[in-house]
Structure 1
């Protein structure tokens, strides 16, 4: 079988975008009203592709890892996100065009402008730069292409390597120092300011209960932790998973599905003992190599990656723990399974300043595409942050209580309150005082015990409330304690998938065109996720073909395979070519040999190779191909090549 030359023509983004629009994979929402930036509608093929990606995600993670699936509400009361830190911290830095007032995301502006200058420099030095049309330059403010001094080019590369680590004032300094203007207008931009990305709303008719559309699905997991733990019979570790819509009010969405305001996320929250972050399946993946870009390399101004065994990466402290590393491997396996190019995938570790407020370690699965390297999956160790803050705010104990096989015996200082005197003396503040005393650690109790020897002391709570007490209010004695229950707040490992981004990059990675038909592209989507698995093409509109087509369609449906019939008047070749654009991997031709001999011709999309066999045999092989039980070379071993003669009787 001849090899398929998918690189016969360089990637043409304009052709791909035209294909996706023409074949309605997705399109701007409200298009006939002028559209709204960052909002998209998926058409039939795009919807099916996303559904197939989700279906495989559920199999790969929820089913294979025995996760608990959730579907929590999108609308969220404001106190939830105030407690989680999103109201204060879930923001990006933006700058304003000083003349037009247009808003731009500051880090994206720096990346775009400096990246373009480096690209222009490379073109000029290689002699491949195209001349800029004078009229076009005047109209769209295109800056002239200039050669950069070696030191300047190196500085730009260092800035881009460290870009995610810059805060707002630093981004503003970069814009001033390097004369970074709005590329659309060539106008200067102002100082960066923070913009919270959450959509505000209100719950109920009075508007008195503020809320937000969720920017992630994670909080639904944490607020239901006690119920999930009970459902899992009180056992940790366990994972919950959820697929659902999230919303972020992006400052300037410009990169299609990569930067949108409404999107589908698939998130996992794996709850684990903070003292034991090993994973029972880690040994099965320890020898897998991943392409890693760690924080130290980036902070040094480089983007050089390394291929490392995850076992070595954990042992050397590059990846924080086994569970985090295990999920990084599972993420990689999933992305490869659905058709992502392994050469254009890497895991980049977050640097100090960009680390989320809740994370202790975080790696992004980044996929290279025409827009550069794009984060498509985040994998973070969120520690115990979320459960801790929600527990403190609500008073609900979001903890694990684990029976110990051997009780722990220890000595400790124990405070016993005289509740009658406390209540009589402090009245409405008695609960505040009691909570403060019960929260004191060993060292604080020893210090308080010593202070009470003087007969009187003052206790001050974290809220600044002071209480004057004497030994009659409480006694502190050293006692022998027997602990048979261990209580702890679990840590969380969170893989978080942006499915729209993955879908778009998947399309880029699998788009190519044949040498003989450059204008009509091919989407080499794996059968696993292809919107339509099989195209059935009757040779003509002859009535004799109809019962055979109906029979084949019914058999494929019973096998769970989505197929489509194309009985149009176009030639077989044009019909197949039209469906190659949609990523349909297999085609079945019904001809007069099907009527006379009961045979069926099977065509493979990428190679255009054709095989022939009995109808039942071909349908069975197609089912095996679509389910991933065999590949095309194995199918070729079971079916003879079609030479065009079988249809002639």
Structure 2
């Protein structure tokens, strides 16, 4: 019962709606000591917002991206591209980033240190709520309301809050300047002359949009379709904090699903309609209510999801996060408030994960409407459209422009082309008005600005009759549904979600007692699937043969041939998340067997070396669970170092 109570308490703490309860000092010490992540250029003092991934984090990142490709690109038959990070300014003028991609910034009036205004206000409120025991109920409610609506304030509103609460520079206590917008893109000249201005992309999406015509052609001009891209993005954060959660260079995995905005359907919607998702709707947020678990079908019935493709991707994101191993109680999908959405978005839901920093956005699933393709068409003078064929052709009446070519050419000479361009640009009603003038006066007069001339034509030179034409289809600008994944944020959240500490072990000597950190990463995400742990130094030949077999079947592994005892070897495997440890002992030579230890339960089974690859593949691919393996190989053992402090398998 005590073990059950401890487990329930641990899970309750993890599900606390404010923060995930871990020891941040111990957790961050583990990440640094085991070289998951370190500050970039550490020996030179580092640079805020820049981090390097070490071997285990690189392996985790590769595994997540591999799972992402299989889950989305392969299963949905997407077209993957890899576009340039360096982008000319005109692209981001068209996308709206030059004008709108900014945060409100304030400066220390003495030192000129820069701070993000909304974060200063939010941090001030957090400190007051946590440390000021004399707060009245009225003030507490005021702070909570301001914190909830912090994204709604413009520069003037933030300045008023800073003045009202007496907020100063957090580093010096000096006064702060008025707020002003700071564009978050890194600018850079392209080429030696510096005349062509460029930016490092803040998202990967624009590379897909500008290649829409080629992607559509590659897809046989068939709509709808999706394109995907994985790549680096850059944002010049004002004051990066929260470790890996707000950085200046990061990896994005983005999908742009192009569709006909007038056709609301998705062929696979039925396959996900029963998926349950914790929805935190705009309605619930404004009313102070909690997230609600609903199926996709139920959320659509309530009107929370208004586009079927958008709904489909929300479900697919939820399934992907489940595969990654997030805590079921520490995930929600929060809808953007109306005045919180990006300039291009019609609707947006964020997949948020609970961490020790609070709820963190890791995936944004946005309905970008037709904004991007319409703007790039306008600025590039290239029509980024798709063609829709009608099942039943329609007949449409129009007013034609019909010149008498032989006569009008002699009259207008070199002005024929600009005059005809002008007349063809007129609306049907404007052409009818010209025909009425011809009928009444026998001539028309109009001015063509492109050649700065007034043109006069008689009725023997031109006519504007009503005609009919059969319409077989139409061009349209596709809409876009965009799931955008912050890979670094997902990695960090998974590390927090999987982190726990095995208690000190009673059988050890007091001076040897240690707390053992464990990362309960699922096999698909773990940096290595297997740890090879020889007991003696003379077992090199068996280790080499096992290494060859594991490599041949693509099972990543790490050998720990150190002189420490087996308990410490297990601990080193546990704290980088290796799910299975293979112990090579005397029986490996005499009986041809090895011992497999499962990380979370510490349970062990003895398996013939001839069965090892099959057993490992079944466990890694989740064809079989650990309980199945225990039944298949009932001879079990356990080392003294693992007799206490087990964790139930999630």
**TM-score for both structures, normalised by structure 2:** 0.88
Aligned match of 2:141? 154
Which whole-Å CA distance do the structure 1 matches of 2:68 and 2:409 have between them?
Answer: 57
Q: 1:593 to 1:157 in 2, by over 3 A?
A: same
Aligned match of 2:103? 92
1:176 equivalent in alignment to 2:163: yes
Which whole-Å CA distance do the structure 2 matches of 1:199 and 1:44 have between them?
Answer: 28
Q: 1:62 to 1:97 in 2, by over 3 A?
A: same
- Deviation of 1:520 after TM superposition, in Å, equals 2.9
**C-alpha contact 1:459 1:469 (8 A) present in aligned 2:** yes
Equivalent positions of 1:271-350 (< 5 A) are: 271-300=258-287, 302=288, 304-350=290-336
1:387 equivalent in alignment to 2:387: no
**C-alpha contact 2:64 2:525 (8 A) present in aligned 1:** yes
Structure 2: runs of 5+ lacking an equivalent = 14-20, 506-513, 640-650
Which whole-Å CA distance do the structure 2 matches of 1:440 and 1:306 have between them?
Answer: 54
Aligned match of 1:493? 481
Equivalent positions of 1:215-294 (< 5 A) are: 215-294=202-281
Which whole-Å CA distance do the structure 1 matches of 2:431 and 2:635 have between them?
Answer: 85
1:406 equivalent in alignment to 2:400: no
Which whole-Å CA distance do the structure 2 matches of 1:423 and 1:612 have between them?
Answer: 99
Aligned match of 2:648? none
Deviations along 1:537-559, whole A, 9 cap, x unmatched?
11111x2x222212221121122
Equivalent positions of 1:590-609 (< 5 A) are: 590-609=584-603
Which whole-Å CA distance do the structure 2 matches of 1:360 and 1:435 have between them?
Answer: 36
- Deviation of 1:448 after TM superposition, in Å, equals 7.3
- Deviation of 1:113 after TM superposition, in Å, equals 1.5
What secondary structure is seen at the aligned counterpart in 1 of 2:149? Answer: helix
- Deviation of 1:442 after TM superposition, in Å, equals 5.4
**C-alpha contact 1:166 1:353 (8 A) present in aligned 2:** no
Aligned match of 1:105? 116
Which whole-Å CA distance do the structure 2 matches of 1:430 and 1:527 have between them?
Answer: 68
Aligned match of 1:571? 565
Which whole-Å CA distance do the structure 2 matches of 1:213 and 1:337 have between them?
Answer: 32
Which whole-Å CA distance do the structure 1 matches of 2:416 and 2:123 have between them?
Answer: 57
Deviations along 1:20-56, whole A, 9 cap, x unmatched?
0011101111111111111111111111111111111
**C-alpha contact 2:448 2:455 (8 A) present in aligned 1:** no
What secondary structure is seen at the aligned counterpart in 2 of 1:115? Answer: helix
Which whole-Å CA distance do the structure 2 matches of 1:361 and 1:392 have between them?
Answer: 23
Aligned match of 1:128? none
Deviates more, 1:529-538 or 1:282-291: 282-291
Aligned match of 1:529? 525
Deviations along 1:330-376, whole A, 9 cap, x unmatched?
11111111111121111111222221111111111111111111111
What secondary structure is seen at the aligned counterpart in 1 of 2:318? Answer: helix
Which whole-Å CA distance do the structure 1 matches of 2:584 and 2:381 have between them?
Answer: 68
What secondary structure is seen at the aligned counterpart in 2 of 1:356? Answer: coil
- Deviation of 1:514 after TM superposition, in Å, equals 1.1
Aligned match of 2:469? 481
Which whole-Å CA distance do the structure 2 matches of 1:587 and 1:436 have between them?
Answer: 78
Deviates more, 1:477-486 or 1:436-445: 436-445
Which whole-Å CA distance do the structure 2 matches of 1:534 and 1:14 have between them?
Answer: 28
Deviations along 1:443-472, whole A, 9 cap, x unmatched?
6666777788797677799x9x99866665
What secondary structure is seen at the aligned counterpart in 2 of 1:343? Answer: coil
- Deviation of 1:505 after TM superposition, in Å, equals 0.8
Aligned match of 2:499? 511
Q: 1:393 to 1:610 in 2, by over 3 A?
A: same
What secondary structure is seen at the aligned counterpart in 2 of 1:169? Answer: helix
Which whole-Å CA distance do the structure 2 matches of 1:446 and 1:147 have between them?
Answer: 77
Which whole-Å CA distance do the structure 2 matches of 1:554 and 1:6 have between them?
Answer: 43
Deviations along 1:570-589, whole A, 9 cap, x unmatched?
00110111111100110010
1:115 equivalent in alignment to 2:103: no
Aligned match of 1:193? 180
**C-alpha contact 1:319 1:325 (8 A) present in aligned 2:** yes
Aligned match of 2:63? 52
**C-alpha contact 2:209 2:372 (8 A) present in aligned 1:** yes
Q: 1:521 to 1:446 in 2, by over 3 A?
A: farther
Which whole-Å CA distance do the structure 2 matches of 1:396 and 1:643 have between them?
Answer: 69
Structure 1: runs of 5+ lacking an equivalent = 121-144
- Deviation of 1:441 after TM superposition, in Å, equals 5.4
Aligned match of 1:132? none
Aligned match of 1:126? none
Q: 1:428 to 1:95 in 2, by over 3 A?
A: farther
Which whole-Å CA distance do the structure 1 matches of 2:111 and 2:416 have between them?
Answer: 56
Across the aligned residues of Structure 1 and Structure 2, the Cα RMSD in angstroms comes to 2.9
Aligned match of 1:83? 94
What secondary structure is seen at the aligned counterpart in 2 of 1:531? Answer: coil
Aligned match of 1:370? 356
1:637 equivalent in alignment to 2:634: no
